[in-house]
Every structure is written in structure tokens, then in C-alpha cells.
């Protein structure tokens, strides 16, 4: 009775349907038809026989009268061509699940609507049904509202939309027009751009403004290109420089500044919805995401061709896997928000949401297309069938966000390692040569006269035949028999060691945790010095019988070298507890020290003919607390003294046994080598050479690996909350989903691209590339996408160029040629200057996709350089300045505003790159704010910082009181003012005011402003002095500076 599954219904249409198309009808949308029809009542309606009879009556009534009625009067709006208000009565299933049917005629909302007892009256805006027809429906509902079959046979999916030739004729999908800059008045124009602009202005009966003055120009250029104001001396020098090309030189200088990349990277961060946390309820941080931001800065500064910029963001890991920058670029795809706390119900939906984020952001950022609208149905406006959406989603089907270690300078690391290895080889060779030359003879003599073990040490250091990390850490055996871990640092791990031993009376086991210079705090734990061994498990089996069931070893007592942990008393006999199950868990103070734990076996172990010991050390408790370097030893005594760093290698002991039994000729090669090494320690000359080898070991270069967050395939996935309940992170096969609903899967979607951006009959396969031979980790689907999206002849390259050209125009001039920079579809604005747009796009493509050339082109134009002077007459003709008759002043974005404040106050810290910070009082440029989705920097939010959930092509620009409160009252505002006041040290009276104007506004004050300043300073000084403050004039000057920095002249690009 209760298994009706409620499905995710809001999703069915929550992205795209425009309100106005669907207004009317039954204004209800609750639950979509569930998978199986179901009586929705808690109590059955009477006995079985009676029920059957009523059913038959109802069915008859349906076939005879109800169906024709519904077909004629209701179906067209509710389940036929459309389902207005989400109400669909085409099948019993959908009707029942609408909740509108009701248990009886009396409680039926459907009936109330057609009886016009409730609104909206149905059929909507049409004559009421005849009373007799209403009675028929009422009776049918009383009989349980049965259907013999649905009113219509719905195909699994609607007829697939086909992209037509006409669709490809839409302006943004067309090939680039061969536009030439029109000839005309040359007196105003400076660049080809201007000739396009001027023609349009003339057509509209408008004329452009003359050039702005030089002070305005240099400020405009600085703020636009760098997001920083010019230094007053720079302003003066530029104003004085009357040489031809002075302005062009300025632009070139700005474009080659390292701060250029910081400004333009931030623009792209908006577009790429980049942030450094997961968002949603936990909002876990992504500490290595900042590499993507650094990639952007470097790419813009180096003038990376835009097509490569795009290709690397989509598939840098496939296209240039050895280039760190290309790996960093892939941060783009994985930068979206993601809910880490997911219930089983939500797994698949969440993954499809993630794919949607990638498809959607790729679409808006690179192609200016709202592809995401096609998730639930064919795009309502643009020729993007749902099929194409899922093909694109399938391109990302296996793509995951992950973190990898990478070496930022692999060549240098390799060279250093080669040099070290050469040095080391020499030292080892010297020792070997000494052994050969000086020890061979004494060693043989020693062997001949060997009589028992010349050592009292109770511990035998195991020599492992196999050693493995379960989670892929690299293990390496060192000369002293210890095992060193490196490489992959899994959160949790388990090491398995195997050793074959001859001893027949093993009574105790020792675990040593040893330090090593390759670990933080020297270990012995791998990441923070600390380690926690959750448990130790050991088995033994006869070496001679590989099929024998290994015996589980039980340990009855344990003690450690930790002074804080004295000998644990052995558990009472027969308690059955295996103390090794409790592992070894030293405290945090264990970092940086060699230490050991010993375990006593319940019974001695050891088989005739040898024993295979398998020992597992488990690190399954604290994150990244596995042991860095460890050594295992056995002893024939149950409680031998617990020493650290002692022990005789097991092969030595066994070698001696052999010698004792069979003489030296019976030694195996490893045994002989072990004995030689053992013997050599008694020789001073050898020890000296060995010390040279040992002391050279710590000099072994450790490559400075950096963690970086990338987006790729086939890598391990960083753990998050939902690993525990089995979240798979991705699904092998992407399906087309009906209405975006994961429970309504249709055919599999194979990788492909948008049909409208291919020639008619084009096949996505023609852009496919195969992975190079031997490459298996990734599918190269994204590399194929990169090919298509940058293909200017047959793929999406032309649109790609139009969109980026427009974005640059938008950021420079405040309004794009297309005023909707992320929507080049039918719902977006058409271009105000289509020929200019195409000319710029062609110019970009023809000149190797270099953006700096484009910046220069725009900034040196007369359009860019004109003044902001307002003209009521021109405004009447073009209030929004679409045709660019003037420069439109605009407020600085949050970053440029804050960075300007830091600059003029002399507080700016120009450190580039690396992890960001969240504190509002950080002094680096704002692009280095750590972007935490649930905790966005308040001062930035005040000035319209985006939330970084979806790509934003243009920010709003608000003027609100909390901004004023920031300038008036925030500690930062005061600090900026103090900083500016400090810069006026040494300037007195009027000269201080003038200097403040020069620094803040790049100009000098006029007499009126000077007078206002003097009056104010005088007043504030007296006010402070009256309180007996010795720093009254400094405080007054600070108050003054604070006022200057809150004024529009400081905050606007004019």
C-alpha cells in the first residue's frame, strides 16, 4: 500500500521553461507519474468481488463516455501536446499521481474544477462542460476511475528534434562574414574598429565624443588593464610625454605587466564559476585548487593563444600530460560546487548534476550557449536537442576531480637525482672494492673458524622477500633491513610483509618505527610525524607446504619503548584476547623519535624446513598516519630486552647455522653477502667507507612534489563524506534521460558534440582522436571535444572566437557588442555591430588567437579613447550608449576597488601565486582571496562579488548603504586612510592635500577643493586637539583621506 515512490519532480523542468509559455492551465505541479500505477489510498475499497464488479462498470463507462470526453475537452492541454500546470490525465497512472483525482467524487479536486466550484475553472477559458458530462465523470471517479489503456500511446521520447539548415543560419552559428572596415571619415578613426563604429553612429545620426584628456586616459588604461591605479609620477610623465605613440607605448607597457594576468584571470574566474570549496552543507575546502587560478594568470601574462587556453582547460591532461600548466588548466571542469553528503537516493542524480555543471559551464563560458537548458527537453529557443546535450555529457562521463602530486621542475629534479646517484655509486664502489681487496681473505678465514653467533643481541631482523602497500605507497628495502615508504600518501593503508625464516622457536615479534629525513618532522609517521598502527596480524605456514592453511598467530603481551607506556601486564591466562589486535598507538609526542613495540606470542612457532611469516600492519584509524619507515624482528625469547636499532640480520643467523651444519660451501649467495657485511663491521677501514656511504644517504634529493587539483580520468578520487555509503563517483555509461530524470533512462548516449555547430550530416567522429599507444588512463573524449570546439572550419571555432572577442570588448567598454556575453542564442541580445564582431573574430583567428593583440587593438581605438562627456541630445537617441558615442563611466569591480585602496594606501603586497587567504585584511591582490563558497569574503560581497555557483558573464553593479558603511566604519577603511595619510608625510598644508589628490585621483585639487580640505582639516584638528590628542593633525589628515577614498571619483573608471 505504501510503496508509491515519489520522484524528483521539480527537476523535470526546473531549468528552462520560460514562464510566459506555460502560464495558464492547471497551476499545479506536484508529483510526476511514478513508475507504476497505484491506488493511492490507505484502505482498500471493499471486498474483492464487489471491487471487480465496480471496476468492470467503471471501465465500460470509461470506454463509452469518459474517454471521448477527455480526448475532446482535456487532453490537448493536459497530457497530449502539453501538460499544462504539470497535470497529465493521459493515463490512469499520471492522473492518480497528480493527487487531483480524489478518493471519491466529493473529495475530487478535479471535479471541483470542472464544476467551477474552485479555480481555475476548467476547461480553462472555455465553456463549462455540460452537466450531464460532469455527472458521467463523477460516476466514473466513484467507480475508481479505471482506464482500459492510456488515452494516447506516447513514444518513449518525443520525435527527436533535428537541427536544420535554417537553424545553422542563425547569426552566431553562421560562418564569419567577410567584412571590411568601411571607408569614411578618417579624422576621428584610429583603427579599423573605429570605422565600423563611426559608420553605425552616422547611420543613427550620432557623432562620437573627442578624445578624453590624458589624465583620464592613463587612469582608464591602468584600471582597465591592471585593475590598479597609476602612480602619480607615471601620470605626470604620461601627461608630459608629447611624443607620437606615447599612448600606444603606455598600452604596450601595461600589457606586458605581470599584473595584467591577475586582472584578467579574475574575469575568467567569474566565467568559470571557480571556487576553492565544495559548497553545499559541508563546504569542504579544496586546498590545491588554486593552481587553476595560477594557470589563468600565467596564461594571460604569457599571451597563450586562446585556442590552446581552451583546449587545455578541457583536456590538458590528455593533450600535454607532461606540462604542469596544462594539468593545472583542467581545474576548470572540476571547479563547480558539489554536495559531499549524499543519500543513496541521490547518487545518480548528483552525478548527472555534476555532468550538467561541466556541460553547462563549458557551454556558457566558451560558446555563449545555454546548453544546460536541453537537459530535460530539447532547448526551447536554440537548436540544441536533448540528444546533443547528453552526447556532450557523455564526453565528461568518466571525468572526475582529483588531486595528484606533481613535480613543478621535473628536469631539475632528474638532474639532481642523477648527480646524487653518480656520487653514491662511487662511494658504494669504494666500499665494495675495499671488501674485495682487503676483506675476502680474512672473511674466508673467519668463516672457516666460525663458532656460534658472536653477538648477544636477542633480535633477528627479518629480511623480507615481499613487501607491499595496499593503497599504492611505494615501499623500498634499505640496507639495514628497514622498509621505507614514499610516493602516494593514502589516507589509510595496510602494509603486508613476507619473510621466510628457518628459526623454529619464534617467541616474540618486534616492530620498530624509525625516523627518516624524507618525512615531515623526520617521521616515523609519514605526514605529521605521528603514526597509529591500528592492528598487527601475523600468520605462519610451513615453507615446504604451500597449500597448508596459514596459522594465525596470537600475541598475549605487548610492551613498548615509550616511557609513558610501561610494560602492559600480560592478560590473564585464557582471556583469549590477542593484544596485537589493539595495535600500537603512541601519542602525538612520538614524532621525531626511533621507537619500538614488542609482542609476545602465546606459543612458540616455527616449522621444520622453514616457516613463511606473513605480517600485516594496519593503519586504518587516523587519516595519513601510516608508518614511514619500519623494521620487523623476531626473537627466540618470550620477553627479551626491547632495544631500538639493534638486531642481527636474520640471513646472518641462518647463514651461521648453515656454516655450522654444512660448512661455508653450503651458503647461499644472499647468506654469504649478509655474513660478509656482518663480518665487515668489525673492520675499521670498512666502517670508515661505510660511514661515507651512510652519511651520503640523507643527501639524496627529494623532489619537491606539490599537490595539485586537476580534472581527469582514471586517477584515485579524494575521499569525501559519501565514500562510506558507496558513492561511485561516476558511471561507466551516460544515458539520455527523459525529462532529466535518472529513473527514466533512455538509450545510452555516446560522446558527441552540438549538431548545429557541425556541417550538415557532420559526424562527431571526424574530430575524435585516439589515445597514443600505451595510454590507457583516459578516454581522449575530452581531447576530441577540444578538437571540435577549436575547429574554425567545420566545428565550433568560429563561435568560440566571436564569444571571446565580445568578452574582451565587454570588459573594456562595459557593454559587449553582444550585450549578453554568455548568451549568443536566440534569447540573448543580437550584436549591435555584427560586421565588427566578425571582423574582430577573424582578426583573432588569423593572428594565432593572441589576445594581447586584441586588447591593444581595442585600447588604441578612438572608441576606447573618447571622453565620457554626456550629451542630452545624443542620450535621447541612444540612452544606453549601444552605438558608443561616449565612454560610459562605470564603478570598479570589488577587486579593482580593493586593490586600488591597497595601492594608494601603500599597503599592497604584490606577492604572486600560491595558496590564497580568506581574511579581509589580507594585503595581497584580491585575486588571491581563497574563495570558499559558504564563507565568501564580506567586503567583496558588498561590491557584487559573484557566488561562484554558475558562470557569470557580466556582474551587476550596485550602490547600497552597506558599501558606505564599509567606507565609514570598517577597520580596513580606516587602515587604508591611515596608509594614505602616511604617504603624505613631509608634505605640509596645501601640498599635502595636493599630494593626496595626485595619489588618489591622479590630478591636483582646484581652489574650491583646497578650501574645503583646509576648512575640514582645521576643524578636525581642533576637535581632536580639544581632547588633548597629541596626534590631532595626523588624525585629521586620516579623516580627510578616508573621505577622499569613499568618493565616486576614486571608485569609477571615467
Partner 1 sequence: MLQRCGMGVGMLGLTSLLHEEGLIAAGPAPARALDPLAPRTAHFAPKAKSVIWLFINGGPSHIDTWDHRPALARHHGQELEGFDKFTGFFSREVGALMKSPFRFSPRGQSGKMVSEIFPYLGEHVDRMAFIHSGHSDSNNHSPALFTINSGQMRMGYPCLGSWVTYGLGSESRNLPGFVVMSDPKNRGLPKGSAANWSAGFLPGVYQGTWLRPQGEPIENLKRPAVLNDDRQRAQLDLMARLGGRDLERNPYEAELAARIESFELAYRMQTAAPEALDVDREPPRIQQMYGLHEKNCAHMARQCLMARRLVERGVRFVQIYSGGMENARSWDGHHDIHGNHTQFAGETDQPMAALLTDLEQRGLLDETLVIWGGEFGRLPLSQIGGAKPGRDHNPHCFTTWMAGGGIKGGVSYGESDELGHRAAVDKVSVNDFHATILHLLGLDHERLTYKYNGRQFRLTDVAGRVLHEIIA
Q: How far is CA 80 from the centre of its chain?
A: 43
Contact by Cβ (8 Å): 80, 152: yes
In whole angstroms, give the CA distance from residue 341 to residue 309.
33
Strand 735-737 and strand 535-542: the pairing is: unpaired
Q: How far is the CB of 945 from partner 1 (least distance, A)?
A: 8
- Cell numbers placing 518: 624524507
The smaller minimum CB distance to partner 1, of residues 381 and 420, is found at: 381
- Cell numbers placing 246: 606615447
Q: How far is the CB of 2 from partner 1 (least distance, A)?
A: 5
- Cell numbers placing 636: 627466540
The smaller minimum CB distance to partner 1, of residues 572 and 1007, is found at: 1007
Helix (H) or strand (E) holding 601: strand 595-605
Q: How far is the CB of 513 from partner 1 (least distance, A)?
A: 38
In whole angstroms, give the CA distance from residue 48 to residue 698.
86
Q: How far is the CB of 86 from partner 1 (least distance, A)?
A: 5
Q: How far is the CB of 880 from partner 1 (least distance, A)?
A: 6
Q: How far is the CB of 116 from partner 1 (least distance, A)?
A: 14
Contact by Cβ (8 Å): 479, 431: no
Beta-bridged to residue 496, according to DSSP, are 468, 616
Q: How far is the CB of 312 from partner 1 (least distance, A)?
A: 25
Beta-bridged to residue 706, according to DSSP, are 406
DSSP 237-282: HHHH--STTHHHHHHHHHHTSHHHHHHHHHHHHHHTT--SB--TTT
CA angle 469, 475, 476 (to 5 degrees): 155
In whole angstroms, give the CA distance from residue 246 to residue 252.
10
Contacts of 193 (CB under 8 A, 6+ apart): 181, 836, 840, 857, 858, 861, 863
Contact by Cβ (8 Å): 364, 370: yes
In whole angstroms, give the CA distance from residue 951 to residue 364.
7
Strand 483-486 and strand 551-552: the pairing is: unpaired
Q: How far is the CB of 268 from partner 1 (least distance, A)?
A: 17
The smaller minimum CB distance to partner 1, of residues 311 and 720, is found at: 720
The smaller minimum CB distance to partner 1, of residues 508 and 1051, is found at: 1051
**Neighbour tally for 466: CB within 10 Å:** 11
In whole angstroms, give the CA distance from residue 976 to residue 982.
10
Q: Give 509's Cβ-side CA count (13 Å radius).
A: 32
The smaller minimum CB distance to partner 1, of residues 386 and 1042, is found at: 1042
The smaller minimum CB distance to partner 1, of residues 167 and 500, is found at: 167
Collapsed DSSP state (helix, strand, coil) of residue 113: helix
The smaller minimum CB distance to partner 1, of residues 100 and 856, is found at: 100
The smaller minimum CB distance to partner 1, of residues 49 and 119, is found at: 119
Q: How far is the CB of 936 from partner 1 (least distance, A)?
A: 8
The smaller minimum CB distance to partner 1, of residues 111 and 506, is found at: 111
Q: How far is the CB of 229 from partner 1 (least distance, A)?
A: 17
The smaller minimum CB distance to partner 1, of residues 682 and 958, is found at: 958
Q: How far is the CB of 824 from partner 1 (least distance, A)?
A: 9
Q: How far is the CB of 417 from partner 1 (least distance, A)?
A: 46
Q: What is the 3-state secondary structure (H, E, C) of 926-961?
A: HHHECCCCCCCCHHHHHCCCCCCCCCCCCCCCCCCH
The smaller minimum CB distance to partner 1, of residues 521 and 826, is found at: 826
The smaller minimum CB distance to partner 1, of residues 30 and 762, is found at: 30
In whole angstroms, give the CA distance from residue 327 to residue 317.
5
- Cell numbers placing 695: 652519511
Contact by Cβ (8 Å): 928, 263: no
The smaller minimum CB distance to partner 1, of residues 381 and 768, is found at: 381
The candidate with the shortest Cα–Cα distance to 401, out of 727, 723, 709, 708, is 709
The smaller minimum CB distance to partner 1, of residues 694 and 888, is found at: 888
DSSP 999-1019: HHHSSPPPHHHHHHHHHHHHH
The smaller minimum CB distance to partner 1, of residues 186 and 281, is found at: 281
Q: How far is the CB of 943 from partner 1 (least distance, A)?
A: 9
The smaller minimum CB distance to partner 1, of residues 238 and 945, is found at: 945
Contacts of 423 (CB under 8 A, 6+ apart): 696
Q: How far is the CB of 982 from partner 1 (least distance, A)?
A: 16
Asked whether the bond before 524 is cis by omega within 30 degrees of 0, the reply is yes
The smaller minimum CB distance to partner 1, of residues 10 and 544, is found at: 10
Helix (H) or strand (E) holding 329: helix 324-329
In whole angstroms, give the CA distance from residue 303 to residue 122.
63
The smaller minimum CB distance to partner 1, of residues 340 and 522, is found at: 340
Q: How far is the CB of 634 from partner 1 (least distance, A)?
A: 43
Report DSSP state, residue 880: T
In whole angstroms, give the CA distance from residue 992 to residue 612.
86
Q: How far is the CB of 386 from partner 1 (least distance, A)?
A: 16
Q: How far is the CB of 524 from partner 1 (least distance, A)?
A: 38
Q: How far is the CB of 18 from partner 1 (least distance, A)?
A: 5
Which whole-number Å values give the CA distances from 416 to 58, 413, 422, 428, 701, in the listed order? 87, 5, 10, 18, 7
**Neighbour tally for 804: CB within 10 Å:** 25
Amino acid at each position: 500500500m505504501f510503496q508509491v515512490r515519489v520522484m524528483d519532480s521539480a527537476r523535470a523542468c526546473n531549468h528552462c521553461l520560460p514562464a510566459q509559455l506555460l502560464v495558464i492551465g492547471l497551476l499545479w505541479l506536484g508529483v510526476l507519474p511514478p513508475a507504476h500505477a497505484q491506488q493511492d489510498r490507505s484502505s482498500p475499497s471493499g471486498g474483492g468481488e464487489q471491487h471487480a464488479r465496480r471496476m468492470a462498470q467503471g471501465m465500460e463507462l470509461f470506454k463509452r463516455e469518459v474517454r471521448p470526453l477527455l480526448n475532446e475537452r482535456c487532453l490537448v492541454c493536459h497530457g497530449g501536446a502539453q501538460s499544462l500546470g504539470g497535470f497529465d490525465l493521459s493515463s490512469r497512472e499520471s492522473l492518480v499521481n497528480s493527487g487531483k483525482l480524489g478518493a471519491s467524487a466529493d473529495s475530487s479536486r478535479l471535479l471541483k474544477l470542472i464544476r467551477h466550484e474552485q479555480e481555475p475553472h476548467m476547461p480553462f477559458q472555455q465553456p463549462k462542460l455540460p452537466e450531464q458530462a460532469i455527472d458521467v465523470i463523477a460516476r466514473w471517479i466513484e467507480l475508481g476511475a479505471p482506464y482500459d489503456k492510456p488515452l494516447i500511446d506516447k513514444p518513449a521520447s518525443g520525435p527527436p528534434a533535428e537541427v536544420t539548415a535554417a537553424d545553422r543560419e542563425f547569426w552566431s552559428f553562421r560562418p564569419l562574414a567577410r567584412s571590411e572596415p568601411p571607408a569614411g571619415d578618417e579624422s576621428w578613426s584610429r583603427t579599423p574598429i573605429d570605422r565600423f563604429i563611426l559608420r553605425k553612429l552616422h547611420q543613427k545620426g550620432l557623432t562620437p565624443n573627442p578624445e578624453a584628456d590624458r589624465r583620464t586616459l592613463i587612469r582608464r588604461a591602468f584600471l582597465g588593464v591592471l585593475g590598479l591605479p597609476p602612480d602619480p609620477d607615471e601620470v605626470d610623465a604620461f601627461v608630459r610625454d608629447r611624443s607620437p605613440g606615447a599612448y600606444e607605448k603606455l598600452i604596450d607597457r601595461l600589457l606586458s605587466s605581470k599584473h595584467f594576468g591577475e586582472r584578467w584571470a579574475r574575469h575568467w574566474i567569474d566565467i568559470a564559476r571557480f571556487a576553492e570549496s565544495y559548497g553545499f552543507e559541508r563546504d569542504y575546502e579544496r586546498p590545491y585548487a588554486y593552481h587553476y587560478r595560477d594557470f589563468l594568470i600565467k596564461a594571460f601574462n604569457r599571451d597563450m593563444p586562446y585556442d590552446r587556453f581552451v583546449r587545455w582547460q578541457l583536456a590538458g591532461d590528455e593533450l600535454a600530460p607532461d606540462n604542469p600548466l596544462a594539468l593545472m588548466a583542467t581545474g576548470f571542469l572540476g571547479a563547480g560546487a558539489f554536495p559531499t553528503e549524499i543519500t543513496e537516493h541521490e547518487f545518480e542524480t548528483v552525478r548527472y548534476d555534476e555532468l550538467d555543471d561541466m556541460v553547462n559551464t563549458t557551454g556558457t563560458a566558451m560558446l555563449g550557449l545555454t546548453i544546460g537548458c536541453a537537459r530535460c527537453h530539447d532547448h526551447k529557443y536554440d537548436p540544441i536537442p536533448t540528444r546533443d546535450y547528453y552526447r556532450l555529457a557523455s564526453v565528461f562521463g568518466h571525468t572526475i576531480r582529483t588531486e595528484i602530486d606533481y613535480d613543478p621542475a621535473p628536469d631539475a629534479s632528474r638532474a639532481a637525482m642523477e648527480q646524487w646517484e653518480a656520487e653514491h655509486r662511487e662511494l658504494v664502489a669504494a666500499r665494495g672494492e675495499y671488501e674485495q681487496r682487503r676483506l675476502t681473505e680474512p672473511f674466508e678465514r673467519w668463516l672457516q673458524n666460525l663458532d656460534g653467533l658472536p653477538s648477544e643481541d636477542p633480535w633477528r631482523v627479518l629480511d623480507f622477500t615481499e613487501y607491499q602497500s595496499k593503497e599504492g605507497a611505494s615501499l623500498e628495502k634499505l640496507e639495514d633491513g628497514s622498509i621505507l615508504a614514499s610516493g602516494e600518501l593514502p589516507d589509510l593503508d595496510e602494509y603486508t610483509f613476507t619473510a621466510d625464516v628457518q628459526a623454529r622457536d619464534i617467541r616474540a615479534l618486534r616492530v620498530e618505527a624509525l625516523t627518516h629525513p624524507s618525512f615531515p618532522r623526520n617521521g616515523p609517521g609519514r605526514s605529521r610525524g605521528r603514526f597509529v598502527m591500528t592492528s598487527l596480524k601475523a600468520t605462519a605456514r610451513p615453507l615446504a607446504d604451500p597449500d597448508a592453511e596459514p596459522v594465525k598467530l596470537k600475541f598475549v603481551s605487548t610492551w613498548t619503548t615509550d616511557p609513558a607506556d610501561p610494560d602492559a601486564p600480560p592478560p590473564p591466562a585464557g582471556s583469549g584476547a590477542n593484544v596485537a589486535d589493539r595495535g600500537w598507538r603512541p601519542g602525538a609526542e612520538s614524532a621525531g623519535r626511533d621507537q619500538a613495540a614488542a609482542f609476545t606470542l602465546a606459543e612458540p612457532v616455527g616449522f621444520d624446513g622453514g616457516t613463511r611469516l606473513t605480517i600485516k600492519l594496519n593503519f586504518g584509524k587516523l587519516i595519513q598516519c601510516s608508518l614511514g619507515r619500519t623494521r620487523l624482528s623476531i626473537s627466540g625469547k618470550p620477553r627479551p630486552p626491547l632495544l631500538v636499532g639493534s638486531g642481527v640480520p636474520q640471513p646472518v643467523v641462518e647463514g651461521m647455522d648453515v656454516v655450522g651444519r654444512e660448512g661455508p660451501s653450503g651458503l647461499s649467495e644472499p647468506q654469504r653477502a649478509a655474513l660478509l657485511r656482518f663480518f665487515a663491521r668489525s673492520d675499521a677501514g670498512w666502517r670508515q667507507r661505510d660511514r661515507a656511504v651512510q652519511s651520503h644517504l640523507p643527501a639524496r634529493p627529494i623532489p619537491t612534489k606539490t599537490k595539485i587539483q586537476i580534472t581527469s580520468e582514471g586517477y584515485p578520487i579524494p575521499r569525501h563524506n559519501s565514500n562510506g555509503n558507496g558513492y561511485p563517483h561516476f558511471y561507466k555509461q551516460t544515458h539520455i534521460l527523459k525529462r532529466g530524470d535518472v529513473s527514466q533512462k533512455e538509450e545510452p548516449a555516446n560522446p558527441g558534440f552540438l549538431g548545429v555547430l557541425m556541417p550538415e550530416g557532420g559526424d562527431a567522429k571526424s574530430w575524435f582522436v585516439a589515445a597514443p599507444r600505451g595510454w590507457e588512463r583516459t578516454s581522449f573524449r575530452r581531447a576530441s571535444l577540444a578538437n571540435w570546439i577549436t575547429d574554425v572550419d567545420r566545428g565550433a571555432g568560429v563561435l568560440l572566437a566571436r564569444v571571446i572577442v565580445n568578452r574582451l570588448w565587454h570588459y573594456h567598454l562595459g557593454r559587449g557588442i553582444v550585450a549578453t556575453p554568455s548568451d549568443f542564442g536566440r534569447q540573448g541580445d543580437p550584436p549591435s555591430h555584427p560586421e565588427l564582431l566578425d571582423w574582430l573574430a577573424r582578426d583573432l583567428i588569423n593572428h594565432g588567437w593572441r589576445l594581447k593583440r586584441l586588447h591593444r587593438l581595442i585600447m588604441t581605438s578612438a572608441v576606447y579613447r573618447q571622453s565620457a562627456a554626456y550629451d542630452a541630445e545624443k542620450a535621447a537617441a541612444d540612452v544606453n550608449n549601444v552605438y558608443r558615442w561616449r565612454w560610459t563611466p562605470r564603478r570598479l569591480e570589488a577587486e579593482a576597488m580593493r586593490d586600488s585602496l591597497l595601492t594608494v594606501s601603500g599597503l599592497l603586497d604584490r606577492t604572486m601565486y600560491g595558496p590564497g587567504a580568506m581574511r579581509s585584511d589580507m594585503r595581497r591582490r584580491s585575486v588571491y582571496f581563497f574563495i570558499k563558497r559558504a564563507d565568501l569574503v564580506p567586503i567583496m560581497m558588498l561590491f557584487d562579488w559573484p557566488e561562484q555557483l554558475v558562470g557569470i558573464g557580466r556582474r551587476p553593479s550596485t550602490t547600497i548603504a552597506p558599501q558606505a558603511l564599509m567606507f565609514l566604519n570598517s577597520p580596513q577603511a580606516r587602515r587604508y586612510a591611515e596608509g594614505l595619510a602616511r604617504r603624505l608625510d613631509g608634505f605640509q598644508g596645501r601640498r599635502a592635500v595636493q599630494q593626496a589628490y595626485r595619489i588618489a585621483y591622479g590630478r591636483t585639487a582646484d581652489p574650491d577643493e583646497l578650501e574645503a580640505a583646509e576648512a575640514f582639516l582645521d576643524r578636525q584638528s581642533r576637535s581632536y586637539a580639544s581632547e588633548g590628542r597629541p596626534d590631532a593633525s595626523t588624525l585629521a589628515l586620516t579623516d580627510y583621506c578616508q573621505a577622499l577614498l569613499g568618493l565616486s571619483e576614486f571608485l569609477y573608471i571615467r
